[in-house]
């Protein structure tokens, strides 16, 4: 059996990378929501970070990235 042509293999890999980017983005959004729920329950970003054994900066940055992604997504869907 002959191997697939390189163009076909490349196209398949690009489709897989796009799927992975989508899955990663969706997972990050769900994670950020869970972090927001944690902040609502525990009171502060620092409390969530302590509970999870993370730095408060890591939790804060995850929330900021999600807010930026959400505002970017809403801006592109309203135009």
Q: How far apart are the first and last CA of the chain?
A: 49
Q: What is the DSSP string of 2-67?
A: PPPPHHHHHHHHHHHHHHHHHHHHHHHHHHHHHHHHHHHHHSSHHHHHHHHT--HHHHHHHHHHHH
Longest dimension (CA), the chain: 61
Picking from 1-5, 18-22, 29-33, 39-43, which range would have the lowest pLDDT averaged per residue? 1-5
Q: pLDDT value at position 4?
A: 93
- pLDDT for 78 beyond 60: no
Model confidence over 52-65: pLDDT tens digits?
Answer: 999 999 999 999 99
Model confidence over 26-52: pLDDT tens digits?
Answer: 999 999 999 999 999 999 999 999 999
Which residues make Cβ contacts (< 8 Å) with residue 23, sequence separation at least 6? none
């Amino acid at each position: 059996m002959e191997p697939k042509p390189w163009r076909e293999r490349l196209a398949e890999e690009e489709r897989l990378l796009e799927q992975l980017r989508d899955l990663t983005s969706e997972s990050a959004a769900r994670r950020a929501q869970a972090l927001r729920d944690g902040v609502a329950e525990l009171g502060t970003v620092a409390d969530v970070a302590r509970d999870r054994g993370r730095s408060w900066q890591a939790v804060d940055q995850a929330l900021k990235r999600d807010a930026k992604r959400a505002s970017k997504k809403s801006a592109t869907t309203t135009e």
